[in-house]
Amino acid sequence: MANFLSKVLSFGADKDLKAYEKIARQITSLEPEMQAMTDDELRAQTDAFKKRLAHGESLDDLLPEAFATVREVSVRTTGLRHFDVQLIGGIALHKGTIAEMKTGEGKTLVSTLAGYLNALSGNGVHIVTVNDYLAKRDSEWMGKIYKFLGMKVGLLQNGMRLSLKKPAYEADITYGTNSEFGFDYLRDNMVTQPGMRVQRGHHFAIVDEVDSILIDEARTPLIISGAGTKSAGTYRDFAQAVRGLIADVDFEMDEAKHTIATTESGLAKVEKKLGLDIYGDDAGQLVNHLQQALKAEYMFHRDQQYVVMDGEVKIVDEFTGRIMEGRRYSEGLHQAIEAKENVAVREENQTLATITLQNYFLMYDKLSGMTGTAMTEDAEFREVYHVPVQVIPPNRPVIRVDHDDLVYRTVDAKFKAVVDDVEERHANGQPVLVGTVSIDNSERLSRLLDKRGIKHSVLNAKFHEREAQIVAQAGREAAVTIATNMAGRGTDILLGGNAEVLAEDLLREQGIDPEEATAEQLAGAKARAEKVCETERQHVLTAGGLCVIGTERHESRRIDNQLRGRSGRQGDPGETQFYLSLEDDLMRRFGGDRMDRISAMMQRYEMPDDQPIQAKIVTRAVEGAQHKVEEVNFAMRKNVLDYDDVMNKQRQVIYGERNKILDGKDLMALIEDVTDATAERVIGEYCFGPHEEWDLDGLVKWLKELTGVQSKKVPELSEEKKSEELAKTVADFIKTAFNEKSDRLGEEVMQELSAQVMLRVIDTRWMTYLQEMDYLKTGIGLRGFGQRDPLVEYKTEAYAAFTLLVNTMYEDFLRTILHIELVNRPRTSVSADEEPESLRGAQYSGGEEVDGDRGQKPAMVKNRSAAIGKSPQGSGVGSSSVATYRKADDPNPYVNVGRNDPCPCGSGKKFKNCHGKNR
């Protein structure tokens, strides 16, 4: 349905493109006028545009002149002139769409057009990249254009000091990665002083490689976490217990859906080894341990999904083949893998703040993006982000030849054919880029090439340090490069090689450090390099351009298209060829009946292993398998969003309240409402039902404990009064205690103190609430066995828990503010770089999954230099209980019992009249 809707909506895309082309012609007509301007006259354009905006003109009115200005400034500062198709791409970005532009079409330059225009409003533009290297490169390279026009350019980098972040956000244009923007948003909602916030709203974002960030990373929520409590021993016990189970006897596994579960016999074996009743754990923690141990043992394999380096388990990105430094699988899977590999098991972390990338980017007033491969995900972009995809025509026609897939019966036959092809092309001087889907396969292919004596470079997670250099030179004559998936996005492969990179290599060969070379040495090396590259370019063109060979289809068509897109840039010749086998993971897991028929046909005709099939039926079968995977992955991402949507409104309420307090909200004026609400709630707790069941003694005890007034006589609370009268009496008593304290400290001090206490209470209760939601999500999937929708159940329980959170938050505030005493201490100045107390030592994770069964995606953990040492329980903000989902090993059976619930001891009495009497 989503794909059909996408096609229907896409019918208007051609109409939009024609309108954009008309505007582009208008921009080009202004070029002579701009060329005639002096530098100072061009600089003055910015102030002129801002004045016109202030007088009522719109950004659309300014667009032609603004774009023409940027085009001319680009020529003068970078030597690059925007092509007409780049103008069209810039218009698409300004209109809030995703511009699909082929590799090598200059997407980086396109962003300057929409970036400059939208920055004129003064609200700031965020340009989002996939890594720090590209953010820094683009801010320096494109920053020349912005700075010429009088605009400030900011840069965010991992580990940057707080004192540098605020100016970066105050700039007109801010470059950074999606994780830096997201973490700064979460961090801003944990600070206790208004001046410590760094962001200034979410006006307009341009997301580079938008498919990578908004699709591939969308299963990866951003998480700030602190130290947790789970024992490493539990993971080791389960790792031992599941070892040696027999597939299809002790457990059943569905690789396509990424699920695994024990059979009854398997469960019995595990429980016998552990001496535990796994499903007797109400909280579902033991079930989760079992699930993660099974996945670690039977679904996650060393040198495929992860590598073990320096005694650590490190994730390999399935989309790029890079090691994802600092990222960890969620829900205990990473610890389960560590236990399996017998390396140190790191403790789990407690969530302090979290948001999905979907909900973060949906906060922007306007969102746009650029990529070479987006159309296959058009339906998801429309449904989730409400942003359509606009295909921008290439500046020059694509003349690359994409051959039909070659399918072999076995993997061995496939790799032999690949090596034969590489050897032939290498001998002819044609550069070859070979894409693999795993480190295992890249190393296997490397060994086969070594046996043939073919010199080559390997780019995978184990050699990622040389990534940019390897990719930049992959277009040289006779070069052979093996890349796991397709890393190096953002670096063009130039036919004949990259002269700048080659010049640095030539200097090093002479024993000269490129950083310390003189201008004369640099110029000489560059001249020699350009000559070499131009000669090799002509040879490569004669040989047919860059040949891209895929050794397996990826689960996503987008990744295949990205690999293909490395060849044939800017009208260059090139070829692509995919080699497949019926034993490939994708074919085996998702091929279905059609692949079975192809295999049977090959056997029937007794085709030798080294004879391939090349036919449309095979290509259609592969694309059908990929479509199935894409549907599964979309469902996973949607599921993550569905669960986060439940908390998103709650997060907005909590963060909204925090920001109001930081901005000077008068809490003193709220005291009456807070005390009235607290009094009504507590009367409902202690004076529920018939008068003879009222617990007035307990109410008095609670009131004294809340206010800290033990010696002062509490007003008479009689059973003859109505509950409304009792609520008023209780509220008046609390207000009196508050006013007395305010008179003693002074209203100004009390206001400041109230703000700090309320912030601490909000943060502590919110952290505890997030932990409760983590526990709830861990076991919520089990509700499906009872024919109940886990998501509906989660929404219901989350609503109830949040209601209780708000109630106890106000009670905690009153208790803390009435008990707290001020101690005169000399004020110490706070460094602009000092982390707020709540963030010291926090770990910044770019993502943990909602539920391991909904698809695992690793978490990026960035350990900041400062450390958070406090647990929520130790923050000293009161002791009132909130709803908690008790863990199975909690020895207290009364921890979650309501006062009017039956007592768990079995006496038949209400809890308040039995074991809850003294609580």
pLDDT in tens, 3-17: 544 444 445 567 889
* 75 has a pLDDT exceeding 60: yes
H or E element at residue 339: helix 333-340
Write out pLDDT tens, residues 715-761.
666 666 777 888 888 888 889 888 888 898 888 888 888 888 899 88
Confidence of residue 277 (pLDDT cuts 50, 70, 90): confident
* 1 has a pLDDT exceeding 70: no
User: Distance between CA 470 and CA 477 in Å, rounded?
Assistant: 14
Q: 3-state SS string over 397-416?
A: CCCCEECCCEEECCHHHHHH
Is residue 834 within 8 Å of residue 828, measured between CB atoms?
no
pLDDT at 854: 34
Domains and CATH numbers, the chain: 230-347 (3.90.1440.10), 405-614 (3.40.50.300), 637-822+870-913 (1.10.3060.10)
Where does 167-230 show beta strands of DSSP type E?
A: 173-177, 204-208, 222-227
User: Distance between CA 65 and CA 6 in Å, rounded?
Assistant: 33
User: Distance between CA 98 and CA 10 in Å, rounded?
Assistant: 13
β-bridge mates for residue 253, sequence order:
260
- As a dihedral over the C-alpha atoms of residue 620, residue 625, residue 627, residue 630, rounded to 10 degrees, the angle is -150
Question: For the chain, what percent of residues have pLDDT higher than 70?
Answer: 81
* 856 has a pLDDT exceeding 60: no
pLDDT at 824: 57
Q: What is the DSSP string of 616-660?
A: HHHHHHHHHHHHHHHHHHHHHHHHHHHHHHHHHHHHHHHHHHHHH
Pairing of strands 125-129, 204-208: parallel
Mean pLDDT of the 112-124 span: 96
pLDDT at 490: 60
| CA-derived radius of gyration, the chain | 32
Q: How far is CA 421 from CA 399, 428, 474, 578, 640, in A?
A: 21, 11, 17, 11, 43
Q: How many residues does the chain have?
A: 919
List the Cα angle 258/260/263 in 5-degree steps: 160
* 261 has a pLDDT exceeding 50: yes
**362-376, 594-608, 721-735, 835-849: range with lowest mean pLDDT:** 835-849
pLDDT at 22: 94
| C-beta neighbour count of 166 within 10 angstroms | 16
pLDDT at 351: 79
Mean pLDDT of the 452-467 span: 75
Write out pLDDT tens, residues 641-690.
888 888 898 999 999 999 999 988 888 778 888 888 888 888 888 887 77
Mean pLDDT of the 96-112 span: 90
Write out pLDDT tens, residues 596-630.
777 777 777 777 777 887 767 777 777 777 888 88
- Tokens 């000669």: give the residue: 535
User: Distance between CA 46 and CA 53 in Å, rounded?
Assistant: 11
Write out pLDDT tens, residues 140-198.
999 999 999 999 999 999 888 888 999 999 999 999 999 999 999 999 999 988 889 99
pTM: 0.73
